[in-house]
Amino acid sequence: MRPATTSSASAPRPPRQRRARRGTVGLIVLRVAQALFALTVAQVLAFLVVPPPATMFMVEDRVDALVRHRKGYHFRYEWVSYRNISDYAKVAVIAAEDQKFSEHFGFDFESVEKAIEDHERGRKLRGASTISQQVAKNLFLWPGRNFVRKGLEAYYTVLIEALWPKRRILEVYLNTAEFGNGVFGVRAASEQFFDKPPAELTRYEAALLAGVLPSPRRLHADRPSDYLERRTYNILRFMNRIGGRGYLEQFWGGTI
C-alpha cells in the first residue's frame, strides 16, 4: 500500500515565504501611512496661506438646517484678515476659551484635569478644548465624540501647532467659529449683530461675542440674556487679568 501524500495546497508555507508575505503587507501599510501623513500635512500647510472656503462644521450645519428646516436660518461666512480684526476680539476669545493659549502646544492638561475633578464633585462636565483643538475639529473633522474622532483631533492639533504660528491659529479660529444660527466668523457676526466691521468692535461687543461661543444657537449677542450679560462681564474681567491688548505682545517673543 502506497503511503498517503500531502497535497501542496495543505502544506505549510516555508518560513521564508511567510516572512516575505508579512514584509509585503508591512510595506503596503507603511506606504499607505506615509501617503495619509503627506496628505494631512498638505491640508494643514494649504490653510496656512489660503483662507478655508468652508469647514466641516459649516457643511454639517447647512445640511442640518436644510433637513430640520431651522427657522430663521441664513448662512453667513466672510473671511477677514487678522489685521482687520479688533484686538479686543482677539483677547476676548482667548480670555473666554483658552487663557493659556500662548503657553501650551495645543493641549491644556491642567484644565482637563480640573474639568474632570469638577465633574466628579457633581458639577456639569464642561469642555476643556483649547483654541487649537477647536480649529482642528471645526476645520478638518466631523461632529462626534468617539475615540477615532478624538484621536484625529489630537493628531491635527499637533500638526497645526507644529506648522502654524499662533497668530494664524487665532486668525482661523476667529474666522470659523460659530457665533449664531448660521453665522460663522467674526466678520459675519460683527456685521450681523452690531452693523459694523470687526475692526471697530468695542471691548464690550467683543466680550459679548466671545460669550456666546459655548452655545451660539441658544445665546444671542444682539439680545443678551441675564446669563449672557453676567458671562460677558466675567470675560471682561478675564481680559484684564491676562493683560488686555498687551497680551498679544507675549507670543513667543513677538507681536502677533
| Residue 14 placed within a domain | no
Tell which wins on pLDDT, 39 or 25: 39
- Domain match, 25 and 144 both: no
Domains held by the chain: number: 2
Give percent above pLDDT 70 in the chain: 82
Does residue 59 lie within any of the structural domains? Answer: yes
Same domain, 65 and 78: yes
What's the chain look like in SS3? CCCCCCCCCCCCCCHHHHHHHHHHHHHHHHHHHHHHHHHHHHHHHHHHHCCCCCCHHHHHHHHHHHHHCCCCCCCEECCCCHHHCCHHHHHHHHHHHCCCCCCCCCCCHHHHHHHHHHHHCCCCCCCCCCHHHHHHHHHHCCCCCCHHHHHHHHHHHHHHHHHCCHHHHHHHHHHHCEEECCEECHHHHHHHHHCCCHHHCCHHHHHHHHHCCCCCCCCCCCCCCHHHHHHHHHHHHHHHHCCHHHHHHHHHHCCC
Same domain, 55 and 181: yes
- Regarding whether 25 and 114 lie in a shared domain, the answer is no
Residue-wise pLDDT tens digits, 38-93 = 999 999 999 999 999 999 999 999 999 999 988 888 999 999 999 999 999 999 99
- State whether 46 and 140 are in the same domain: no
Residues 45 and 152 in one domain: no
Provide the domain limits for residue 34.
21-50
